[in-house]
Structure 1
Amino acid sequence: MKKIIPLLLSFTLLSGWILKDHNPHNIKKHASLINSGGAPTGKTGAPGESTCTMCHSGNVNDGSTFSSISFSGLNSEYVPGTTYDLTLTLNNGSTKNGFQLVVLDSITNSNSGTLILTDAVNTKITSGNNRDYLNHTSAGNSQTSWNFQWTAPSSYVGPIKIYYAYNIAGYPYSNTSGDDIYTSVKTLSVPNTSFLSTNELLDFNCFLDNNKRLNIISNFNSKKYSKMKIYNITGKLMYSKNLNLRANQVSKVNIPSNLTSGIYLISLDLGTDKKTKKIVL
């Protein structure tokens, strides 16, 4: 009896270690069980992210022909501040499926708009690395479609991309040997017609990219060059450049080396209309 107790204890400890999430020998084998309630963040295949293959076996497949995201807006075009109904549907799903998606500004690859939970039983929202994710839950992994809402950002930011990855679980569900991983992207665009209002003909957004270049997105097609000017906070003109603006396209401007870090005013002048915005360089 004395010999049996130590043997049982050793077996229990060994079994616990084998099934432990961080055990590198078995994290993939048991991923379908460990992540049945939703994947860790950052598994959508979006820029800077991995996919479900970090935990599940199998290769990454193109999911564009086997899945879709319906969007309640016209022509997959968004209007700032508007809330839309969306549904992710898998056409090749099995009895056990999982997914994760993220909505990003395609220029800065940062969160864009706001994900809204509409089905707390089958979906959940998680956050990580300054990004928000929609995932399946344990109850939702028997679904082949999931509903949610999204509110567009308060202003146009250019194309917006919904990156998603999904797993079609193989049998038996206790391991991942038969799993198939798919990724795809849904793009939401600004309207083809200029987004002009009766009170304001010209509008634009501006920001610095990772290469310290000034990016300008305007709503206007200029028939001739438009004047872009940079003023310091006291109103002194520091730099000017002619730009050939195209609606919803990015114009990149190299920042002059004589401009030190600080707050500046960026002005666009079309001759008939002028708009100024503040930026930190």
Structure 2
Amino acid sequence: MTKNYVYIGLVAASGLLLSFSGNQSAQTVKNFSKDFHSFNQAGSPGGRTGAPGDGVCTQCHSGTVQSGSGFNNVTLSLGGNPVTEYETSTTYQVQVSMATTNIKNGFEIVALNPNNTVAGTWTITDATHTKTITSGGKSRVTHKLAGTSLTSWTFNWTSPATNVGNVTFYLATNQTNNSSSDDGDVIRTSQHVFGSQAGIKEVSANLETQIGYQAATNSLNIHLNSKIDGSVFVNVVDLSGKSVFTEKLGNVSAGESALSVRLDNELNSGIYMVNVSVDNNMTMKKVFISK
């Protein structure tokens, strides 16, 4: 009888120990999640832009990735004047902005050439709010803790020393709900393509375009006459030099092609520069959008 009491006591004690350990483990996981989120407030861990080879911010934040077209903006400026193409070995100011008044936000950006390797170099001009990080051997820029209160960040980018064709800035932004957790944040990714001035002069003969706007469908109708095969990208830039819409339209073969792309409803009426590229060959047309 005494042995039975001892056995029952041991079982009860074990149950209490398991119960305590389970609660302690749950609390540890909860604390880790909270601490990890707080750590990310000091900047992306890197490799979360959605670029080739990268993951996305939802690896750390709940929710699904949304399109950043019309919400994420990237502007290149030289001497205070926005540009739509880069010259080699030239330093530009880059402004990353989000179309929001949200009180806590974040971002990560990387610049890649058509071979998906790093294009150019970054220089931090506002060390209070931004910093560089390296992930996958690629240098990027992200926010710092003090920068989460902003909706716009600036830094410098020096273009490659040689013509590498189109440079794509892959941008991911995080519009948080400031809840000190990873729940409820909105992640948006976008691509912003800037062509080389040298490249445009060298290859413009390979591509001809006619572009029209159709108000009924809020679409751009693009007629291509290309001498080469390749992937088609469309980049819409406003007159301030801000990239406001980007889209990959798939692949085309050499010859004539008719394409159509629906624009964001948030895009206002006005004059825009529409850049169309096929395999790093770019043409640019001025289009009036009237709604």
TM-score w.r.t. length of structure 1 = 0.60
Unpaired stretches in structure 1, ≥5 consecutive residues: 1-5, 21-26, 196-217, 223-247, 252-281
- Which amino acid is the alignment partner of residue 172 of structure 2? A
Show CA shifts across 1:67-105 (max 9, x none): 211111564101100000111111124111010000101
* 2:173 is aligned with 1:166: yes
Report the counterpart of residue 190 of structure 1 in structure 2.
Answer: 196
| 1:76-225 alignment runs, 5 A limit | 76-105=84-113, 107-171=114-178, 173-191=179-197, 195=201
Aligned residues: 190
Q: Which amino acid aligns with 2:43?
A: G
Structure 1 position 65 matched with structure 2 position 77: no
Deviation sequence 1:103-162 (CA, Å, 0-9, x none):
101x21000000110100000001121100100000101100000100000010010000
The equivalent residue for 2:233 is: none
Amino acid at match of 2:84: S
User: Does the Cα contact within 8 Å between 2:165 and 2:199 map onto a contact in 1?
Assistant: no
Letter in 2 for 1:71: L
Deviation digits for residues 251-273 of structure 1 (CA, Å, limit 9, x no counterpart): 9xxxxxxxxxxxxxxxxxxxxxx
Offset at residue 49 of structure 1 (A): 1.1
User: What is the CA deviation profile of residues 227-277 of structure 1, one whole-angstrom value per residue up to 9, with x for unaligned ones?
Assistant: xxxxxxxxxxxxxxxxxxxxx9769xxxxxxxxxxxxxxxxxxxxxxxxxx
Q: CA RMSD in A?
A: 3.0
Amino acid aligned to 2:54: E
Structure 1 segments, 4+ long, off by >4 Å, are: 9-14, 192-195, 218-222, 248-251
TM-score, normalised on structure 2? 0.58
1: CA distance, partners of 2:43 / 2:91:
25
**Does the CA-based 8 Å contact 1:68-1:89 persist in structure 2?**
yes
Cα deviation, residue 16, structure 1: 4.1
> Which structure has more helix as a fraction of its residues?
2
Q: Any conservation in 1 of the 2:172–2:189 contact (CA below 8 Å)?
A: yes
Secondary structure at 1:72's aligned position in 2?
strand
Q: Distance in 1 between matches of 2:186 and 2:203?
A: 42
Given that 1:168 and 1:179 are in contact with CA atoms closer than 8 Å, whether structure 2 keeps it comes out as yes
3-state SS of the aligned residue for 1:189?
A: strand
Q: Please give the alpha-carbon distance, in whole angstroms, between the structure 1 residues aligned to 2:169 and 2:163.
A: 16
Give me the whole-angstrom Cα distance separating, in 2, the residues matched to 1:56 and 1:249: 35
Q: Within 1, Cα distance between the matches of 2:174 and 2:278?
A: 35
Partner Cα separation in structure 1 for residue 132 and residue 56 of structure 2: 17
Identity %: 34
